[in-house]
Amino acid sequence: MQLLPVLLLLLAPAALALWPNPHSVSFGSSSVTLSPTFWIHWASTTPAPADMTAAISRTMTQLYTDNLQRLVVGRANADLHALAYAAQLPMLHLEITGSSEIKSIMAEATCALEYRDESYMLSVPADGTAAMIQANTTLGLFRGLTTFSQLWYTTGGVASTFPYYSFFPGASMLYSVQAPVMIMDTPAYPYRGLLLDTARNFMPVTTLYRQLDAMSMVKINTFHWHITDSQSFPLTVAAYPELSQYGAYSAAQTYSLQDVQDVINYAGAIGIDVMIEIDTPGHTAAIWESHPDYVACYNEAPWGTYANEPPAGQLRFAVPEVLNFTQGMFASILSTLPSTLFSTGGDELNTNCYVNDTIFQHALVEAGQTFGEALNTFVLGTHDTVRAAGKTPVVWEEMLLVQNVSLGADTLVIVWISSDDALAVAQKGYKMIHGPSDYFYLDCGGGAWLGDDTLGNSWCDPFKTWQKAYSFDPLQNLTESQYSLVLGGQQLLWTEQSGPENVDPIVWPRAAASAEVFWTGANGPDGLPRNSTEALARLHDVRYRMVARGINAINLQPEWCALRPGDCNLV
Ligand SMILES: *[C@@H]1O[C@H](CO)[C@@H](O)[C@H](O)[C@H]1NC(C)=O
Ligand SMILES: *[C@@H]1O[C@H](CO)[C@@H](O)[C@H](O)[C@H]1NC(C)=O
Ligand SMILES: *[C@@H]1O[C@H](CO)[C@@H](O)[C@H](O)[C@H]1NC(C)=O
Ligand SMILES: *[C@@H]1O[C@H](CO)[C@@H](O)[C@H](O)[C@H]1NC(C)=O
Ligand SMILES: *[C@@H]1O[C@H](CO)[C@@H](O)[C@H](O)[C@H]1NC(C)=O
Ligand SMILES: *[C@@H]1O[C@H](CO)[C@@H](O)[C@H](O)[C@H]1NC(C)=O
């Protein structure tokens, strides 16, 4: 009798290997296999939007191509005995609930954050009856499909020892050992992003597609595309084609209008909104290449006096023509974007740049404005353009906390310098996105990249591990009345030292950490605080699945440990 509780403990199944962890989940310990004729059924009378149909067939393909054996000692062989009498899952119904119009995944993924509905319910019975995903939107169904595909493992080529498969020598079977599964899921925060910089080093669209695939696997819903900077201007702007013609590293290292639409459409179809950033008025030296009259202190030496990294060069924002140009450039770009968010940047504005710039100083005198007044005029002028296009402006924290620009109340502020700055943003009453360098920067710890700083470190050293990112508390230091100002957050990769060759290993699976922080929230489905010791086994699982889907995500531990959750903990 006394042995019983111990046995129960030993037999208690580990948490389902889902990432991010759902809001609520219950599961059993029965095995279910996917029927050889398993299919996904669109249960509405209204035809499925094209990207939903594509998501269904992509999910079917992934089920049969992931080829992931469960991460247990013995892998698939360890589960075979449990499968002999398992029920077969015949189908998965996808059902839209409610009476709203059925829209495409992309339409739902790019609508304003406050209307975004990613919630879904998923049930997988253990008795051979059909599984079901219900959601109010195609986006919710898509999130449910993503979760569904994380439930299945392959037997490898051993299924022919089972009756149904004996006709197919070498065939494999897909199974789950934790049915029945019941999940009710909805994100804790509406904004869950990843920033990639394509200006320090260029990344081709195929590389971006791969990042989007990985983002979608962990339900990240925003690609913050820092597309231009002082080093290069790869974005083609219809109204000002000379910007990329002269400002890109080469003609091959540009994004055409079509490329940008392709990335937006690719992202939208897998549940991701693309928020483009044109950083202004700093970080704009590359504009000098085509518009030398608009840029002060271009490549001025020593660069450290005029900029945080070479080359120096910032827009002469007090010059009316520069505002006119920036508004025209933004309007041209904005007219092509479905997202309701657009970032005008605003970080690291260097005041030395303007001290001896006679054109800038003359413009201040002409306007009868101080530096701060002129900056206010410029930033608010560009934000008018953003709003005129029906979108919400987004800025880096300095615009609010350092330059004191009188930002409109709708403006979203990204915290990056330190997690401690979130409190000041909240105290000023602005909505925020967390991207603090002390938790979420992916580019720290690689040493300095400056040529003569051989033993130096990057400014944001040390390396930020996934555990560090995972430990972030989005509500730290805030009072309850300020909680609703937090829209979410993101990890960020600045690409001084990365490009298509190494972006996957630098980002994945680390960026999955913030994906769970902002999807799952403070507590896991068991009601206990999220905890990286518990999370590790699930993160291994999604990392192995990423590798199966062609993403070069790094190992977190020796495989021996991945197969033995807890055995490699520090004791
Ligand atoms: C659908 O919308 C209703 C009403 O807004 C809401 O209560 C529910 O949580 C949503 N999600 C699902 C999966 O039904
Ligand atoms: C820029 O100036 C030109 C000429 O004065 C004007 O036609 C145009 O509307 C202005 N553009 C913006 C975006 O204000
Ligand atoms: C501006 O010019 C003066 C005189 O040449 C020089 O001493 C000073 O260092 C310059 N300041 C900046 C910020 O460039
Ligand atoms: C902005 O406000 C802060 C806090 O009130 C102050 O410390 C800072 O000097 C101000 N910055 C400017 C540029 O006026
Ligand atoms: C926020 O809280 C942390 C931990 O309690 C503390 O170290 C930090 O100083 C606080 N920051 C601010 C700006 O109050
Ligand atoms: C974290 O989870 C592990 C494994 O589930 C558990 O043993 C540990 O007590 C938890 N730690 C904390 C601090 O909650």
CA dist., res. 397 & res. 424, Å (int): 10
Helix (H) or strand (E) run with residue 144 in it: helix 138-149
Atom of ligand 1 nearest to the CA of 140: 13
CA dist., res. 97 & res. 120, Å (int): 10
Structure tokens at 435: 């991207």
- Which ligand has the minimum distance to the alpha carbon of residue 526? 6
For residue 342, give the nearest of 290, 403, 401, 412 by alpha carbon. Answer: 412
Atom of ligand 6 nearest to the CA of 529: 14
Residue type, position 227, single letter: I
Structure tokens at 48: 């499925």
- For ligand 1, is residue 53 a contact (CB within 6 Å)? no
Atom of ligand 1 nearest to the CA of 120: 13
CA dist., res. 114 & res. 375, Å (int): 30
Gap from CA of 349 to ligand 4 centroid (Å): 14
- For ligand 1, is residue 121 a contact (CB within 6 Å)? yes
Predicted local confidence at residue 164, as pLDDT: 57
- Which ligand has the minimum distance to the alpha carbon of residue 323? 2
CA dist., res. 208 & res. 212, Å (int): 6
How far is residue 316 from each of residues 312, 321, 332, 438, 509, measured CA to CA in Å? 13, 9, 20, 32, 41
**Which residue owns the Cα nearest ligand 2 atom 14?**
324
- For ligand 6, is residue 166 a contact (CB within 6 Å)? no
Q: Let me know the angle formed at the C-alpha of 167 by 163 and 173, rounded to the nearest 5 degrees.
A: 65
Classify domain 20-185 by CATH architecture: 2-Layer Sandwich (3.30)
Gap from CA of 270 to ligand 1 centroid (Å): 21
Domain boundaries, the chain: 20-185, 191-530
- The whole model's pTM is what? 0.96
Residue showing tokens 């990432």: 19
Predicted local confidence at residue 159, as pLDDT: 55
Q: Per the omega criterion (within 30 degrees of 0), is the bond before 22 cis?
A: no
Predicted local confidence at residue 7, as pLDDT: 38
Predicted local confidence at residue 156, as pLDDT: 87
Gap from CA of 96 to ligand 1 centroid (Å): 10
Gap from CA of 255 to ligand 6 centroid (Å): 46
Residues with CB under 6 A from ligand 4: 372, 402-404
Predicted local confidence at residue 163, as pLDDT: 60
CA dist., res. 126 & res. 31, Å (int): 7
CA dist., res. 567 & res. 534, Å (int): 12
Residue type, position 196, single letter: L
Q: Let me know the angle formed at the C-alpha of 200 by 196 and 206, rounded to the nearest 5 degrees.
A: 50
Predicted local confidence at residue 421, as pLDDT: 98
CA dist., res. 166 & res. 327, Å (int): 67
CA dist., res. 228 & res. 12, Å (int): 52
**Which residue owns the Cα nearest ligand 4 atom 9?**
402
For residue 30, give the nearest of 11, 5, 44 by alpha carbon. Answer: 11
For residue 360, give the nearest of 436, 298, 411 by alpha carbon. Answer: 298
Predicted local confidence at residue 165, as pLDDT: 57
Residue showing tokens 């051979």: 128
Predicted local confidence at residue 84, as pLDDT: 81
Q: Let me know the angle formed at the C-alpha of 214 by 487 and 18, rounded to the nearest 5 degrees.
A: 75
- For ligand 6, is residue 531 a contact (CB within 6 Å)? yes
Atom of ligand 6 nearest to the CA of 531: 1
Options 3.40.50.720, 3.20.20.80, 3.40.50.300, 2.60.40.420; which CATH number does 191-530 get? 3.20.20.80
**Which residue owns the Cα nearest ligand 6 atom 13?**
531
User: In the chain, which residues have pLDDT < 50?
Assistant: 1-13
Strand, helix or coil for residue 394: strand
Catalytically active residues are 348
Residue showing tokens 């003569």: 452
Residues with CB under 6 A from ligand 3: 352, 355-356
CA dist., res. 473 & res. 110, Å (int): 26
Predicted local confidence at residue 160, as pLDDT: 53
Gap from CA of 324 to ligand 2 centroid (Å): 6
Helix, strand, coil percent values for the chain (each to nearest 5): 40, 20, 45
| DSSP at 275 | E
CA dist., res. 358 & res. 376, Å (int): 20
- For ligand 1, is residue 344 a contact (CB within 6 Å)? no
**Which residue owns the Cα nearest ligand 1 atom 11?**
119
Gap from CA of 119 to ligand 1 centroid (Å): 7
Q: Let me know the angle formed at the C-alpha of 378 by 368 and 346, rounded to the nearest 5 degrees.
A: 130
